[in-house]
Amino acid sequence: MGLVIRGGWVLDERGHPRRRDVLIDGGRIAALGPRLPDAGHDVVDASGLLVLPGLVDLHVHLREPGFEAKETIATGTQAAARGGFTTVACMPNTRPPLDRPELVRWVRAKAEREGAARVLPFACITREQAGRELADFRALRDAGALAVTDDGRGVQNAAVMRAAMREAAQLGLVVAAHCEDEALAGAGAVHDGAFARRFGLPGIPGSAEAVQVARDIALTMETGCRYHVLHLSAKESVAFVRQAKALGVPVTAEVTPHHLLLCDADIPAPDANWKMNPPLRSREDREALIEGLLDGTIDFIATDHAPHTAEEKARDMAAAPFGIVGLETAFPLLYTHLVETGICTLQQLVDWLTVKPAQAFGLPYGRLAVGAAADLTLVDLEAERAVDPAAFASKGRNTPFAGWRLKGWPVLTMLEGRVTWQDPARFALT
């Protein structure tokens, strides 16, 4: 006996909403069409709801092993499920960092047991993320690493990055880069702009990112490696990626919801809930990111969900760690501020959160199609409420969006046909 998701809105190939039923059987989508027969199946009433492929977030910090006070695989994937995400890629800047195959296997096994989402671990580029010796890419790939990155830090030495790209190209691995030149970023806490000057805080210039983007594009051209830029934030970086794509360089890029929606002029006061790396930049940078997303320079959206404890984030802006949570607010934020405002269409937003990240990393997820895994997200586009960090499933409450009134909240999430989250006010599926 299967399950029919009855009468929800499914986006067709041209992005038009159509009333469709979805039949799920054996963890897969068995049929998709108007008025499928009940035939003894369980039925979920999805009328009035949008039925999307499960969302995909390829930049998440789950913090295990080592930083369980900030987040765990269990709480982080529960946050993912609440946010409508069914697939997340987790970053290797844990303690110890994921630089050995047994650690990658450990994360995968724990996620298999405790996870409310599919977890694809990134592994390190360099041992200990120290930027010197390469990790064993072949062993990491064979252990199931999605790709390699030293996220949290940029690879400072160009020769090390080139060696990583050569090795990755041989093995068919993507190299994903946190682009940050540490000599230029210095001890910066926020973008090197008006806010930094007003509060006497050390600044991080856009060039700290852009010089590594430019360097890595040159190295990609030399090595033929598949290269991905994490959390793009500076207008110069957008220009470099645009030019590289025009030249046929195999580069992709992601952007976060907060860099699309906020700039440093929006920071109300020195408050570490507004501190993340890369920092919120200028209005022109923000506009360049939106333009880059719309013209295809930037391939997809990823949250960079980076939970920290309340205690850490209560420190002053110079001392607190970088990072904000993102999983539980991403879809409603982007729906309310990009779709409802007419900046992009619903179909574009859905693509940037599903099929686009999947395609960039060669993953078979992010599409509603017969035969695909039954990863589904039901969204109520009319539901409106304020962001309440106290109600997050994540251990992290560090968000600049507290109190924002948003529409478009996920109400039910399903991974391979199993419910991973349901709004208790609406559903009681077992």
Ligand X SMILES: NC(=O)N[C@@H](CC(=O)O)C(=O)O
Pick the piece of the chain touching Zn ion (CB under 5 A) from 105-113, 116-124, 172-180, 342-350. 172-180
Q: Tell me the window of 72-80, 170-178, 294-302, 310-318 that interacts with Zn ion (CB under 5 A).
A: 170-178
The reply to whether 299 sits near Zn ion by the rule CB under 5 A is: no
16 annotated ligand-binding residue: no
For residues 30 and 306, which CB has a smaller minimum distance to Zn ion in the complex?
Answer: 306
Q: Are 84 and 56 in contact, with CB atoms under 8 Å apart? A: no
Q: Residue 36 in 3-state DSSP?
A: coil
Dist. CA 6–CA 103, nearest whole Å: 42
Which candidate, 60, 146, 76, places its Cα nearest to that of 111? 76
CB closer to ligand X out of 271 and 423: 271
Residue from 178, 191, 226, 305 binding Zn ion (CB under 5 A) = 178
Cβ atoms 400, 274 nearer than 8 A: yes
Q: Is 216 in the site for Zn ion (CB under 5 A)?
A: no
Q: How many angstroms separate the CA atoms of 37 and 249, rounded?
A: 49
Backbone angles phi, psi at 29, to 5 degrees: -80, 115
Residue 356 binds which one of Zn ion, ligand X, none, with CB within 5 to 8 A depending on kind?
Answer: none
308 is in an annotated binding site: yes
Tokens describing residue 47:
């009328």
The H or E element containing residue 336 is none
Note the residue count of the chain: 430
**What minimum distance in Å lies between the beta carbon of 347 and Zn ion?**
29
- CA separation for the pair 254, 256 (Å, rounded): 7
Determine if residue 373 is left, alpha or beta; phi over 0 gives left, psi from -120 to 50 gives alpha, anything else beta: beta
Residue 151 marked ligand-binding: yes
Q: Is 228 annotated as a binding residue?
A: no
Rounded to a whole number of angstroms, the minimum distance from the CB of residue 423 to Zn ion is 32
Residues known to be catalytic: 304
Residue the block writes with tokens 């190295």: 219
How far is the C-alpha of 66 from the C-alpha of 427, rounded, in Å? 35
The reply, when asked if residue 93 is annotated as ligand binding, is yes
Partner touching 61 among ligand X, Zn ion, none, CB below 5 to 8 Å by kind: ligand X
Report how far residue 20's alpha carbon sits from residue 32's, in angstroms, rounded to the nearest whole number: 7
Quick one: which segment of 150-158, 291-299, 319-327, 366-374 binds Zn ion (CB under 5 A)?
A: 150-158
Pairwise CA distance, residues 63 & 349, whole Å? 28
Instruction: Look at residue 209 and give the partner it binds from Zn ion, ligand X, none, a contact being a CB closer than 5 to 8 Å depending on partner kind.
Output: none
Distance, CA of 280 to CA of 278 (rounded, Å) = 7
Query: Which CB atom, from 106 or from 322, has the smaller least distance to ligand X?
Result: 322
Q: Read off the amino acid at residue 229.
A: V
Q: Which of 354, 423, 422, 414 is nearest to 24 (CA)?
A: 414
151 binds Zn ion (CB under 5 A): yes
Q: How far apart are CA 88 and CA 105, in angstroms?
A: 16
Name the residue nearer to ligand X (CB basis): 57 or 304: 304
Q: How far is the CB of 104 from ligand X (least distance, A)?
A: 18
How many residues belong to the site for Zn ion (CB under 5 A)? 2
Determine whether the annotation assigns residue 281 to a binding site. Answer: no
To the nearest whole angstrom, how small is the minimum distance from the Cβ of residue 273 to ligand X?
Answer: 12
The entry of Zn ion, ligand X, none near residue 106 (CB within 5 to 8 angstroms by kind) is: none
> Which CB atom, from 128 or from 382, has the smaller least distance to ligand X?
128
**178 in a labelled binding site:** yes
The least distance separating ligand X from the CB of residue 247, rounded to whole angstroms, comes to 27
Six-digit token string for 405 = 């009134």
Which spans of this chain sit near ligand X (rule: CB under 6 A)?
61, 93, 151-152, 178, 276-277, 304, 306, 321-323
Region binding Zn ion by CB under 5 A among candidate stretches 101-109, 113-121, 149-157, 413-421: 149-157
Task: Identify which of residues 151 and 167 has a Cβ nearer to ligand X in the complex.
Answer: 151
Collapse the DSSP code of 24 into the 3-class scheme (helix H, G, I; strand E, B; otherwise coil) and give the result: strand
Q: Is 398 annotated as a binding residue?
A: no
Exposure string of 142-178, with b = 16+ CB inside 10 Å and e = fewer, is ebebbbbbbbbbbbbeeebbbbbbebbbeeebbbbbb
Q: Indicate the annotated binding residues for Zn(2+).
A: 59, 61, 151, 178, 231, 304
Chain contacts with Zn ion (rule: CB under 5 A): 151, 178
